[in-house]
Structure 1
C-alpha cells in the first residue's frame, strides 16, 4: 500500500507494518481524544520563526526574581545548565502568571527522584509546568501514577519524555497517556519493535494507538517525535483509515520520517479534508502561485498549507501595501515560506527600518526575505547601528554594503568582518559597545 521503496526499506518488512488493520474505534466520545481538534492547535507545532523578544524592563525584573523565590534566570543557568537565552525565554513565559511558584515545582520533582538533568529536559520541553500548582495539580498526578505501581525509574523516565502528562486534569487521561508512553518505551527496547512483546489485548483502543505509533517508529520516526504526536492536540495516532491514508500521502511526497517536517506534514494532511486542501491551493493560485509552487513550499514548511484564509489574505495585503509587487510577494514566500505567517506589525516595522532608515531598496529585501525572520531588536538594529557608525567615520565608503553580509551571517562572521578587523582598539571597543547591549535584551 505504501510506496516506500525509494527510502531503501525492505518491502516485505514494511508491508508487515504498514498494511495494518485499523479495526478499533478509538476512544470515541472521550474528551482527552476529541475527534474535532481546534484549528488553532496548529500553532503548537510551529517553530518560532523569529527569536523571542522581551522588553529590557521585563528581563531585569526576571533576573531579580521574586522576594523569597530563588528561581531566577541565573538559577536556571547555573543550576540546570540552561543558556542565558533559553533561561530568559522560559522566564518570560513563566512570568506572565503572577501566581506561579516555580520553586515549589522544582522541589516537588526532586522529592520524587527527578535529577537536575531530567528537570532541565522537562522544563525545556514544557515550560508551562512551572506555572502549575504543585500541591493541587502536580502532586496528585504524581501520587496517582505511583498508585498504579510506577517505580521511581519508570516515573522519572516517562515524565521526562512526556512532561505534559503532569499537566492533565483528569486521572483517567493521565493514566491512559502513561500506559501508552510506557508501552512505546518497552516496544522500543524490543528487537524490530514487535507488537508481541507488549502483550496487548486484541481489539483494544490502546492496541490501535500502539500499532500506529509503532508503524511510524518502523519508518524511522524518532521516539521524541512519537511522544509529541501522542500528546498533541491533533490526535493523529488515534485515527484509523484516516491515519493510514494521511501517512501514505506524506510518505509519497518524500518527507524524511526522521525529521520534524514529516510529523508536521502528517498533522496538516490528517486534519485537512480533500475539499479544504483544494480550496487552499485555489486561494494561493489566485495570489499568483502555481499548484507546483504550493506543494514545493509545503515541503519546505508544512504549516504553510495550514494557515487560515484570513491570515493568508492579510499577509498578502500587508506586503502589497508596503510597495512589494504580487510577483515579488510570490518570490519571497517561495524562498522563505515563513514570511506569509508573520504579523502585519512585524513586517511593517522591519520593512520600514530596512528601507526608510537604512536606505536598502525593496529589491534588496526581496532578494533576502529571511530578514523578516530576524529579531529587529536583537539582530537587525544592533548590526545596522554598527554599520551606521562605520559609515559616519568614513570606514565603509559612501554606499551601504549588501544586505546579506550584514544580516544573514552569524554573529561571529559579522564581528570578524565589521568590528574585530580594525587595528584601533578604541574603535573596536566602541563598536562592541554598540553591538553588545542589545544582545542581552
Structure 2
C-alpha cells in the first residue's frame, strides 16, 4: 500500500509541473521557477546595467585627467547629474580645460568644488570670453578663479570685462588687476563705487599710489573690506593702543594683511605678549621690530593653528607656553604640523600638552628622534609606547642614552652623538697646563723659615 501511495504522489507531481498543452488554453500554467519576471523588472535591470556601464566609462575618463580612483566613487555618487551628460561632451569639456593651460591638479580642484563646469555650453562661452578680456597672457589661476565664481554666482564674461576696465581706469597695473581677480574674484560682483571708496580711504591715510597698488597686489581682499564697520574702527583701535599714524602706515606697507585684522584681535595678541614668561633673549628677538609687528606675528601663528583644527583659546595657550614659535617662519610651523598629523599620526590637540614640539628644530631633532623610535618599534625594541611627550621632552643626551646607546645600529640614524662623528675639542689638549702656576723648589732658607714659623705657632 505504501508503494501505491508513493507511485501516485510521483505521478501527481509530474503532471502538475508538466508544461501546458496548446489544446488547453485555459489551463493554469506553473513554471519551475516560483518567481515570475515581469517586463518592468526586465527594464529596470537593463537600466541599472546601463547606468553602471555609464559610471564605469565616466570614471575611466575622469581618471585619465587626474582624478584618484579612490575618490571617483564618492564624486560620481554625489554628482549623479553628470551621468546625463554625453561622454563625448564631457571629454570635449575636459579638453577645453586643458587648453586653458590648467594643471591636472587645478582641474580636479575645479571639478571637486564646481562639477557643473563640465557643461560644454558653459565652457564654450568662457572660451570665447577669455579671449576677449584684453589681457595678453591670461593666467591659469585667473581662469580657475573666474570659472569657480561664475558657476556659483552666474557671472557672464561681460561682467569680468567691465570689472577689468574699472580697475584699469583707477590706475592699477595689469599685473595688479590680474592678481586681484585671482585672489579676490568677488570683486567682479562688487559695485565700482565701493572700490573707489576704499582707494580714496587709502589715499586719505597718506599712502602714495605706488604703495596702494602694491597693497592691492599682495592683499587683494582689501578692496572688499567695509570702511565704516571694519577699517575705521580698526584704525581707532590702533590709536587707542598707542601706535602713531606713521608707525601704522609703515607696517601696512610692509604687511598689508594688517588691514584684515578684526577689531579686538590685536589687543588680545598684545596682552599675550605682555604676559610672556620667557628668556630675555627670546623676548628681545620677538619685540625687535616693534610691538605692532610682534602682535601681528602672534595673530598669524594663532590663525595657522586654528586652520589645522585647534580652537582659538587653545591656540593662544600654545603660543603662550612656547613663545619661540613666534620666531619661526610659518612655512616651518606648517611643515611641523603636517609631519605631526600625517607622518606621526597625532592629533593637533596634542600640542596643548606638548607645545615644545613647535619650538625645536625640525630636521635635527624631530625627524631624527622619530626615525629612531620607528626603527625600534619595528624591531620590537620599545618596551612601552612612547608618546609625543616622551619623544620631545628629554634632552639630546638623555634621549641618546635611553634609545640610541643600547642599540649600535641606531647611532647612524641618530647621528648626533654617534661614535663615527668625533666631537672636536673646543680648546687645544693640555691648555689647562698653561694656566697652572709655576712651582719653584724650596731652598734651605725657606725650609728654615717654615720650621721657625711652625714652632712659633705651636
TM-score of the alignment, normalized to the shorter chain, above 0.5 = no
With the length of structure 2 as denominator, give the TM-score of the two structures. Answer: 0.44
Q: Which has the larger radius of gyration?
A: 2
Higher-RCO chain (CA-CA 8 Å, sequence separation at least 6): 1
With the length of structure 1 as denominator, give the TM-score of the two structures. Answer: 0.45
